[in-house]
Amino acid sequence: MLRKLFALFLLLIAVPFQNGASAQNIAHGVRVLVIDAGHGGKFPGAHYAGVYEKDLTLKVALKLGKLVEEQMPGVQVVYTRKSDKELGSTLLADLQKRADIANEACGDLFLSIHINAAASTAARGVETLIMGETPKEQRYNEEALFESNREDLIDMSDERTAAIVRAYIQNLQFTYGNYSMAMARCIQQQYVKAGRHDRGIKPQLLRVLYATDMPGVLTEIGFLSNAQEAAYMKSEKGQNEIARSLFQAVKNYSAYVAKMQADSGAATATQQSLQRVPEAEVPDKAEAPAAGRSGYTIQVLASPERVPLRSAQFKEYKGKVKEYSAEGSSYRYKYCIGFYAERSDAQRQLKTVRRTFPDAFVVRCEGSRIVQK
């Protein structure tokens, strides 16, 4: 069933090309692509026989960026790094800086490129990770095979941290989850077309995805611990094929998002012409967002039950927050600060809000509802 649904999804996103439109005439759903070459500088990542993950991820990232720049006019490519350098004095600071670069660029998609490694040299294949957690991922987090990988993962041993992260994941899945999954599927589908061994899509508690305020994935392009795959990734041919697979995935995903945005815009216009938001749904008229207004806001809290707008837990923003609803989420009530017509404006203000609420992030809103991107 899933394969049939995905085949239908691919057919839908291919329609614009079948109608004979050139790439230049197709509206891109992705306007800013952030490409993250994993590791760098004093953080080499996996390394075997004198070959370092940081070097290969950079080569693939630059090749991918060049393809996008040449064949997707109008899409801005932002690199977290274009040379062999670390972005922070510690690995934690390095990961946060990558997310900061993406957030400051107001990226529409974050694509992090990494290389796998395993104790068994027989391990092979490609996989793409999205932000999330299942019991299997919980065990992996607790029993990471490589100590060097532990700082890439969010430590869930502290109950308070775990509760905050899990609440955030629910919000992330509502706002960006469908898009991250769509991109992950596009990537794996292209890998399979290129003859790679498919290890699937997996949720994982990755710090770099947790800190980015946009749809994002981390893709593992092969196993450096596997001699055959290492040779492939070292070769110019292999790097070109991997970059081409990722480029085609970005292209397909961008077309998909453009179609979703067009459909959403048409549906919103129709809904606004037929309905008005009932006053009974507005808990505090003075603080409620204007009905039908579309833009961006900064979410600081989500709750399954209503929270008074002047609650002490809003700290210095007490009385300044607005309540939004989010259907389809168990945390139905979202509490946000500010309203901005442009995402870039909200992103700039986010830095200030995070001094009080470190886990705050930007969301899209329409009237009194938080909506998917």
3-state secondary structure labels for all residues of the chain: CHHHHHHHHHHHHHHHHHCCCCHHHCCCCCCEEEEEECCECCECCCEECCEEHHHHHHHHHHHHHHHHHHHCCCCEEEECCCCCCCCCCCHHHHHHHHHHHHHHCCCCEEEEEEEECCCCCCCCCEEEEEECCCHHHHHHHHCCCCHHHHHHECCCCCHHHHHHHHHHHHHHHHHHHHHHHHHHHHHHHHHHHCCCCEEEEEEECEHHHHCCCCCEEEEEEEECCCHHHHHHHHCHHHHHHHHHHHHHHHHHHHHHHHHHHHHHHHHHHHHHHHCCCCHHHCCCCCCCCCCCCEEEEEEEEEECCCCCCCCHHHHHHCCCEEEEECCCCCCCEEEEEEEECCHHHHHHHHHHHCCCCCCCEEEEEECCEEECC
Instruction: Output Rg (C-alpha) for the chain, integer angstroms.
Output: 21
Environment class of 182 (CB within 10 Å of its CB; exposed 0-12, middle 13-18, buried 19+)? buried
Is pLDDT at 65 greater than 90 in this prediction? yes
**pTM passes above 0.85:** no
**Cβ pair 218, 114 in contact under 8 A:** yes
Q: How far apart are the first and last CA of the chain?
A: 26
Q: Indicate whether 70 and 191 sit together in one domain.
A: yes
Q: Indicate whether 243 and 313 sit together in one domain.
A: no
Instruction: Judge whether 127 lies within some domain.
Output: yes
Instruction: Judge whether 301 lies within some domain.
Output: yes
> Position of tokens 């794996």?
188
**Cβ pair 366, 298 in contact under 8 A:** no
Q: Indicate whether 60 and 9 sit together in one domain.
A: yes
Instruction: Judge whether 129 lies within some domain.
Output: yes
Is pLDDT at 141 greater than 70 in this prediction? no
Q: Indicate whether 115 and 218 sit together in one domain.
A: yes
Instruction: Judge whether 168 lies within some domain.
Output: yes
Q: What is the mean pLDDT of residues 52-70?
A: 97
Residue 160, pLDDT score: 60
CATH number, domain containing residue 329: 3.30.70
Mean pLDDT across the chain, nearest whole number? 78
Instruction: Judge whether 270 lies within some domain.
Output: no
Q: Indicate whether 302 and 248 sit together in one domain.
A: no
Lowest-pLDDT range of 56-65, 243-252, 327-336: 327-336
Q: Indicate whether 183 and 289 sit together in one domain.
A: no
- Residue 277: band (very low, low, confident or very high) from pLDDT cuts 50, 70, 90: very low
- Structural domain count, the chain: 2
CATH number, domain containing residue 90: 3.40.630.40
Condensed to tens digits (0 to 9), the pLDDT of residues 147-199 reads 345 556 555 555 665 555 555 555 555 556 688 899 999 999 999 999 999 99
Instruction: Judge whether 264 lies within some domain.
Output: no
Instruction: Judge whether 294 lies within some domain.
Output: yes
Task: Give the domain range for residue 340.
Answer: 279-371
Q: Indicate whether 124 and 67 sit together in one domain.
A: yes
Q: Indicate whether 191 and 340 sit together in one domain.
A: no
Instruction: Judge whether 271 lies within some domain.
Output: no
Contacts of 276 (CB under 8 A, 6+ apart): 291
Q: Indicate whether 152 and 218 sit together in one domain.
A: yes
Q: Indicate whether 202 and 105 sit together in one domain.
A: yes
Residue 151, pLDDT score: 57
Residue that finishes a domain, picked among 224, 259, 294: 259
Rounded Cα distance, 238 and 229, in Å: 9
- Residue 103: band (very low, low, confident or very high) from pLDDT cuts 50, 70, 90: confident
Residue that finishes a domain, picked among 259, 294, 327: 259
Is pLDDT at 109 greater than 80 in this prediction? yes
Angle at 83 between CA 191 and CA 149, to 5 degrees: 60
Lowest-pLDDT range of 11-20, 215-224, 359-368: 11-20
Q: What is the mean pLDDT of residues 303-321?
A: 86
Residue that finishes a domain, picked among 259, 290, 312: 259
**Cβ pair 86, 198 in contact under 8 A:** no
Lowest-pLDDT range of 61-70, 231-240, 267-276: 267-276
The residue ranking higher by pLDDT, 291 or 358, is 358
Residue 306, pLDDT score: 87
Q: Indicate whether 37 and 83 sit together in one domain.
A: yes
Q: Indicate whether 116 and 12 sit together in one domain.
A: yes
Lowest-pLDDT range of 242-251, 255-264, 358-367: 255-264
